[in-house]
Amino acid sequence: MKEAMWGRKYGYVRVSSKDQNIRRQICELEKLSIEKKNIFIDKQSGKDFNRPAFKDMVKTISEGDIIYVKSIDRLGRNYSEIQKWWRVITKEKGAYIKVRDMPILNQVQDETLLDVFISDLVLTLLSYIAENERNNIRRRQAEGIAAAKAQGVKFGRKNKPLPPNFEQVYWERKERKLTVAQAATKCGMARTTFYCGMSHWERNDTLQ
């Protein structure tokens, strides 16, 4: 069936940050004669679908409508979530999705069971590749951190220098002349920070 006989046309645009330019995506959608009021725009990460414009679009569409998106990663980057929302849009809402740079995913109104199977298979494959890549990135990060630590690289915030009176207060505390709370107050430190200071001092054998 020709596109002219479908329902309303919608477009979805997403960029990861407010500083990124959305004009190119919008221009492509306007060439398809999609009204500006039917173009939904999110400026946030694609790690999940907790996006206001996307949710509004899903609420707005109805059976027979068609959603255009430039690429699958504009829809999102979590492919298990993409599969979930793809089913919501196409199965529950009865709408259609057209991915501009991946025609194999594009749906038609008279699609056969083979078309549906191929589309679902491609989405599943994309999900596997994305998940595998995420795991590889985590593994490479862990290996990199381990290698850096082995070479003496330290991570995390640097410790603040201890106050000038710390040594005197340390000994007063060790001799039970002060409670921890009193010692911490004299040093202008929180109790937990004072404890950490004592451990650091003793670990580095500063006191002889």
Residues with catalytic annotation? 16
Residue type at position 53? A
Structure-token match 């609420």, residue found: 59
CA distance 111 to 34: 23
Q: How far apart are CA 46 and CA 77, in angstroms?
A: 5
How many CA atoms within 13 Å lie on the side-chain side of 80?
4
Burial (CB count <10 Å: 0-12, 13-18, 19+), residue 81: middle
Residue 25 and residue 69 in contact, taking contact as beta carbons nearer than 8 Å: no
